[in-house]
Amino acid sequence: MKLDTIRSDFPILKRKVNDHSLIWLDNAATTQKPHCVIESLSRYYKENNSNVHRGAHTLAKEATEEYEAARKKIQKFIGASSPEEVVFVRGTTEAINLVANTYGNLTIGRGDEILLTQMEHHSNIVPWQMLCKYKGARIIPIPINKKGDIILEEYEKLFTPRTRMVSITQVSNVLGTINPVKQMINIAHSHGVSVLVDGAQGAPHLGVNVQDLDADFYTLSGHKAYGPTGIGILYGKKALLENMIPWQGGGGMIKDVDFDRTVYLELPYKFEAGTGNIADAVGLGAAIDYLEGIGMYNIEHHEQELTRYATEALSSINGLHIIGNAPHKTSVMSFIIEGIDPSKMAGLLDQEGIAVRAGHHCAQPVLKYFGVDSTLRASIGIYNTHKDIDALVQGLLKHINQ
Ligand code: PMP
């Protein structure tokens, strides 16, 4: 991987923040955008902008082709067997809400159980909780250990005849743990239970193949994968999506409407009511081309090496404790420093152009498990370097010693 070339693809990395060069270590919150993504948005609006699927004119045809080409790129990127299995949504949050409100609504009833890991993001807890409240079902947490690994033997024991759904993150946005999702899916399937994999932190960092994983549903957020905000995807196995009743109704998802009945369109359009986020889908397609140009294998290798380097460097700081020490982890370092308020430290680092996040990272249950209510989090992307980590460590040391 030519890091200098990659860095020069990201215009924002040239800007100064508080008179310092920007060091972006908040990639788990969102990633920066390369030229090609920014240009694709501008080109789409300058040359092709139209609504899709409807008009009979040239621009409608072009916009439709661009939108569907982006869908095919995503299909290939995640290894889905057909573009029909790729539904455009706003992001992971909307994807999980869609599944809870359609598949969940169809299959989960009073007394049923949904298994979620203890390290889930709120967007993979709250939609299920809302469904449980409505249906009289309940959530059962899958326990983790103090390293931040799922306890697989405990997971296996949680299955009962009432288990209807498992929903798990591929990579934790707090701990960085890479979960053994393939194995977990296999176990769930042996009990006849479907699995949703939250890939918000997985897809940007690991090569993903949903067919190899045998995931029933898989989600990703474009903005965490160097694409625009407001666009993401829900992957679902065709047989499951076909049996699900649409969640939102409106234009763009129907074949025929009368006042007493509606015939829906085929997949994936029956889940895409209203005008979609066409330009940002095109932008996500450009981001995927960009990632594939670098190669997910190279990205994975670079980020895991940098994660090891950062873990070692941070661990050498007196009074600093890393939360999440799973042997198989990537890209995220959460930590606390004795006697120091995380948000105060994030503010001090910002004065030096270093962007890290402080807070609960929308995953309060896992922070409670580790006995804290806030951490500092440095998270790595494709453009980060050893120098970025050195600057972070220097910045921390300077303020700890003040
Ligand atoms: N799941 C995980 C693991 C995440 O890290 C995030 C974003 N922080 C989400 C879900 C939600 O993604 P979005 O806000 O893009 O819908």
In this prediction, residue 303 carries a pLDDT of: 97
CB atoms within 10 A of CB 57: 9
The 3 state secondary structure assigned to 179-226 is CCHHHHHHHHHHCCCEEEEECCCCCCCCCCCHHHHCCCEEEEEHHHHC
CB neighbour list of residue 256: distance below 8 Å, 6 or more residues apart? 262, 263
Ligand 1 atom index nearest CA of 223: 15
Question: How far is Cα 44 from Cα 89, in angstroms, rounded to an integer?
Answer: 19
CB atoms within 10 A of CB 113: 20
User: Does ligand 1 lie within 6 Å of residue 198's CB atom?
Assistant: yes
Residue 13 maps to which CATH number?
A: 3.90.1150.10
pLDDT digits 0-9 by tens, 10-35:
999 999 999 999 999 999 999 999 99
Domain boundary among 273, 292, 311: 292
pLDDT above 80: residue 402 = no
pLDDT band at 56 (very low <50, low <70, confident <90, very high): confident
86 in the same domain as 16: no
Domain boundary among 268, 292, 316: 292
pLDDT digits 0-9 by tens, 310-366:
999 999 999 999 999 999 999 999 999 999 999 999 999 999 999 999 999 999 999
265 in the same domain as 158: yes
pLDDT digits 0-9 by tens, 251-305:
999 999 999 999 999 999 999 999 999 999 999 999 999 999 999 999 999 999 9
Domain tally, the chain: 2
pLDDT digits 0-9 by tens, 178-233:
999 999 999 999 999 999 999 999 999 999 999 999 999 999 999 999 999 999 99
227 in the same domain as 327: no
Q: How many angstroms is it from 117 CA to the middle of ligand 1?
A: 15
157 in the same domain as 50: yes
Domain boundary among 292, 312, 331: 292
Structural domain containing residue 201: 39-292
273 in the same domain as 179: yes
266 in the same domain as 143: yes
Catalytic residue among 3, 362, 372, 400: 362
132 is a catalytic site residue: no
Q: State which amino acid sits at residue 237.
A: K
102 in the same domain as 175: yes
129 in the same domain as 62: yes
In this prediction, residue 382 carries a pLDDT of: 98
User: Does ligand 1 lie within 6 Å of residue 120's CB atom?
Assistant: no
Answer yes or no: are the C-beta atoms of 233 and 74 closer than 8 Å: yes
